[in-house]
Amino acid sequence: MSTSRPAWYSHELCFWHDPGSGSGYVPVGPGVEPLRQFAVDPDLRRAEGLVKVSGVQDRFTVVTPTPATDEDLLLVHTPGHIERVEATSAIGSGDAGVYAYVNYHSAQAARLAAGACVQATESVLDGRFDRAYCLVRPPGHHAEPDRAMALCLYNNVAVAARAAQRRGVRRVMILDWDVHHGNGIQRAFYEDPDVLYVSLHQDGLFPAASGLVTETGTGAGAGSTLNVPLPAGTGHDAYLAAVDRLVVPAARAFRPDLILVAAGVDASGHDPMGRMMCTSRTFHAMTATLCRLADELTRGRIVFAHEGGYSAWYQPMLVLGTATAIAGLPAPQDPFLHSLDHLPGQRLQRHQDRVITHLETHHPLLARTAAVASARGGGR
């Protein structure tokens, strides 16, 4: 039996993962004073604390996840990759891939992060919950089948999607609105026609030359990847336009049985790792739209997994904005909104609209949908 209360998955050990000073992005050496790195996970604990203090977590059923098994991780990752993460973490420090630094707790935290996403997905598929949110670390969308990358050890959402397929789910849609392109998710499903991967990200940010509009899938998966590289400085209106004009039509054309969201919050206007302008209101609105879309297409089955977010002061409010929408509540009062909402970039700009319009008319999935709609209109 489904419950009207969404599920909340988190684990204290996820907060013990610490990639170390600079996380590989800030040089360590002469002329560089040691710096508290920008992805340290007490910030994520503060985010969960705000959700608790606000009373919003009371609207969720809180679930403590168990670690992902080797069987789960091998759905996406190679044995060598798993061994490298485990061995580097056992030493207590080091780079487990490319800019993927770990400490002693990181391997277990990464298994818990992936396990939370798998278990949330399975609970949604079993009908225990309609919606779930996984507030986990380390993030995952950069992790490729054979290597950790850019803070990401295991690809949490990709593993969850494969776990859903293992359970017999035919079609899965993954929406990734982290400010960076999810190269790892794309690589895992680039030839899979049964997984639609949609990424809204800052154009040209990271990884370099990744997430281009021309990357639409290959082989049997041709047309099942939709990249939306938005210009730096994109804010509230353009993100919502991309969701309304690209994500929603693509989902309706694809007809998924399950929706997974890589719900990073680093596209905010206060995040040091991007140059976008989203606010808590943006994330609330996008989350609410995706929940309605799931009600329409998947019998409500949707799982959100936290990805990036590096503003120590603003990340908690952005997580709260996401959580309130999942719980069906209005957007929270945001004390930081005044510093961002008045800026001209929050309105849809012509150069941003050109990207969305181009994809509406040129992406294979959306172009086919438009052609069918035009033909039907002509027939009347």
Catalytic residues: 142
Q: Which amino acid is at 28?
A: V
Helix (H) or strand (E) holding 191: none
- Inter-helix orientation angle 364-379/350-362, to 10°: 70
Q: Can you say how many angstroms the Cα of residue 197 is from the centroid of all Cα atoms in its chain? A: 11
Q: Which residue(s) pair with 226 in the sheet?
A: 198
d(CA 221, CA 223): 6
Locate all alpha helices (DSSP H) within the chain, ordered by sequence: 42-53, 70-73, 79-91, 106-125, 156-166, 183-189, 236-242, 248-254, 280-297, 315-326, 350-362, 364-379
Coil/strand/helix, residue 176? strand
Q: Is 201 helix (H, G, I), strand (E, B) or coil?
A: strand
The separation between the first and the last C-alpha atoms of the chain, rounded to the nearest angstrom, is 44
Q: What are phi and psi of 303, to 5 degrees?
A: -130, 130
Q: Residue 209 corresponds to which amino acid?
A: A
Q: What is d(CA 39, CA 19) in angstroms, rounded to the nearest whole number? A: 8
The DSSP bridge pattern shows strands 101-103 and 93-95 to be: antiparallel
Q: What is the spatial distance between Cα 147 and Cα 79, in angstroms, rounded to a whole number?
A: 11
Nearest to 332 by CA among 133, 58, 54: 54
Q: Which residue has the tokens 């050109």?
A: 354
Separation between Cα atoms, residue 319 and residue 263, nearest integer Å: 9
Closest CA to 64 of 151, 141, 123: 123
Name the phi and psi angles at 316, rounded to 5. Answer: -55, -40
* CA nearest to 54, candidates 377, 372, 327: 327
Paired tokens of 28: 């360590």
